[in-house]
Amino acid sequence: MSTVMIQPATYEDIRKAIDRAFEIFPLNLKSKKILIKPNVLRASEANEAIVTNPAVLAAVVQRVESMEPASIIVGDNPGIFSYGANEESFRKTGLMAASGGYYRNIGIDAQKIDFNPEYMPTVSLSRAVLEADIIISLPKFKTHGLTIMTGAIKNSYGFLPGAQKARLHKAAGSPARFHEMIVDVFRLRVPDLFIVDAVVGMEGNGPASPELRDIGLILASDNAVALDAVIATMMGCDPAKLGFLRKAKNVGLGDYDLETIEIIGELKRLTDFKLPPLGGEAITHNESIQAVLDRPTLLRPRADEKRCTGCGACVDQCPVSALLMNENYPIADPEICIRCFCCQEICPEKAMALV
Ligand code: SF4
Ligand code: SF4
């Protein structure tokens, strides 16, 4: 049976919840090499809640420091819009200061390793991931247009540096295959402890939605499948409908059935939580989210004309060139679009939505 901790917290008083996580899930860190990996999607302000809050990172670093490790690295490989902007992403979010001097750009030193040849025969993994004795993953409680939620499993996608993340989106080619592929990335090196920043979460069109949600919790577990099942349940989403959780269970990484999970704390569904468009009303029967995501007619990346500045970043970054500028607004060609949601992820104005 897996265990998930649900502990009330505020950013001003975070240390108690972090200490509780380390008590429930004890780790021997003495003389070990530790990697702490926050979710750093892109350069943004901490109060936009796009990244793990600096208060959570600082508390984890302080706790780890007190356990006499041999070394600590704080690092991540930000998403598509922030390739090559690793330091800037950490600095702008406040995560650089929160890292206590342990920040390292883990994107500049990587090693090729075998991967699932269905997608790519090899991928480059940050060497800091491969060399760590213990990895502590710090996901953010957020929605995600493509995977419905981003939590423990999806946070490991940042183990991959650089543009290969976009190439893998392209190689996956469909949301269903993307769900499967992120589990293959996660399996390359399963972290040892997950501590989720759910003090302020995100709902709606994540992972960079303007709709924030005060939740007031820190979640933790040493099992990513159980933890993501709890996050999905809190969001009002049946874990069994998520393709990546089904694959993770099938390959023996854990179980999403709540009957198999011990909850320390109180598991409550968040009232009227807004899932991404395809996680909510589109699924009214027993249909899997994966099946819905694969219906191209339901997926239309569309720019909100009131927000879009016509910067063209989404057009430049679309991995299959499905976007064209038309009178200063990007238009997606549904025949070419592989529904990777990268345009939504990178838009600095939060203008791109799946409608
Ligand atoms: S949708 Fe966003 S990224 Fe694309 S052109 Fe408009 S503002 Fe730029
Ligand atoms: S238009 Fe957007 S969702 Fe479609 S392939 Fe391009 S980046 Fe991905």
* Ligand positioned closest to the Cα atom of 331: 2
- In short, whether 267's Cβ falls inside 6 Å of ligand 2 is no
Q: Which of 318, 325, 331, 345 to mutate to test the pocket of ligand 2 (most atoms within 8 A of CB)?
A: 318
Residues 323, 241, single domain; the answer is: no
Structural contact between residues 138 and 173, judged by C-beta atoms closer than 8 angstroms: no
Residues 71, 195, single domain; the answer is: yes
Task: Name the CA dihedral angle for 332, 333, 338, 339, rounded to a multiple of 10 degrees.
Answer: 40
Each of the 355 residues of the chain gets a pLDDT tens digit; together they read: 999 999 999 999 999 999 999 999 999 999 999 999 999 988 889 999 999 999 999 999 999 999 999 999 999 998 755 555 788 999 999 999 999 999 999 999 999 999 999 999 999 999 999 999 999 999 999 998 888 999 999 999 999 987 788 788 888 888 888 899 999 999 999 999 999 999 999 999 888 888 999 999 999 999 999 999 999 999 999 999 999 999 999 999 999 999 999 999 999 999 999 998 765 444 444 455 555 555 555 566 889 888 999 999 889 888 888 999 988 889 988 888 877 778 887 888 888 877 6
* Residues of the domain holding 327: 295-354
Residue 355: what pLDDT?
65
- Residues lining ligand 1, CB < 6 A? 303, 308-314, 330, 347, 349, 351-352
Query: Rounded to the nearest 10 degrees, what angle do helices 243-250 and 224-235 cross at?
Result: 150
- Ligand 1 atom with the smallest distance to the CA of 323 is 4
Residues 155, 242, single domain; the answer is: yes
Residues 109, 229, single domain; the answer is: yes
Q: Which residue minimizes the CA distance to atom 2 of ligand 2?
A: 343
User: How far away, in angstroms, is 192 Cα from ligand 2 center?
Assistant: 33
Q: Is residue 263 part of a domain?
A: yes
Q: Is residue 78 part of a domain?
A: yes
Residues 149, 257, single domain; the answer is: yes
User: How far away, in angstroms, is 123 Cα from ligand 1 center?
Assistant: 29
Q: Residue 337 is part of a domain; what is its CATH number?
A: 3.30.70.20
Structural contact between residues 341 and 355, judged by C-beta atoms closer than 8 angstroms: no
Q: Is residue 289 part of a domain?
A: no
Residues 84, 142, single domain; the answer is: yes
Residue pLDDT, tens place only, 214-250: 999 999 999 999 999 999 999 999 999 999 999 999 9
Residues 184, 330, single domain; the answer is: no
Q: Residue 190 is part of a domain; what is its CATH number?
A: 3.40.50
Q: Is residue 75 part of a domain?
A: yes
Q: Is residue 158 part of a domain?
A: yes
Residues 161, 116, single domain; the answer is: yes
User: How far away, in angstroms, is 352 Cα from ligand 1 center?
Assistant: 7
Asked if the bond preceding 207 is cis, omega within 30° of 0, the reply is yes
56's enclosing H/E stretch is: helix 54-65
Give CA–CA dist 307/66, Å, rounded: 46
Residues 136, 85, single domain; the answer is: yes
- Ligand 2 atom with the smallest distance to the CA of 169 is 8
Domain total in the chain:
2
User: How far away, in angstroms, is 15 Cα from ligand 1 center?
Assistant: 38
User: How far away, in angstroms, is 314 Cα from ligand 2 center?
Assistant: 8
Residue 81: what pLDDT?
53
* Ligand positioned closest to the Cα atom of 343: 2
* Ligand positioned closest to the Cα atom of 79: 2
Structural contact between residues 220 and 228, judged by C-beta atoms closer than 8 angstroms: no
Structural contact between residues 46 and 304, judged by C-beta atoms closer than 8 angstroms: no
- 206, amino acid identity: G
Residues 104, 232, single domain; the answer is: yes
- In short, whether 339's Cβ falls inside 6 Å of ligand 2 is yes
Q: Is residue 212 part of a domain?
A: yes
Residues 40, 89, single domain; the answer is: yes
Give CA–CA dist 281/235, Å, rounded: 14
Q: Is residue 40 part of a domain?
A: yes
Residue 83: what pLDDT?
55
Residues 103, 215, single domain; the answer is: yes
Structural contact between residues 325 and 280, judged by C-beta atoms closer than 8 angstroms: no
Look at the block and give the residue holding tokens 């990895």: 135
User: How far away, in angstroms, is 126 Cα from ligand 1 center?
Assistant: 30
Q: Is residue 288 part of a domain?
A: no
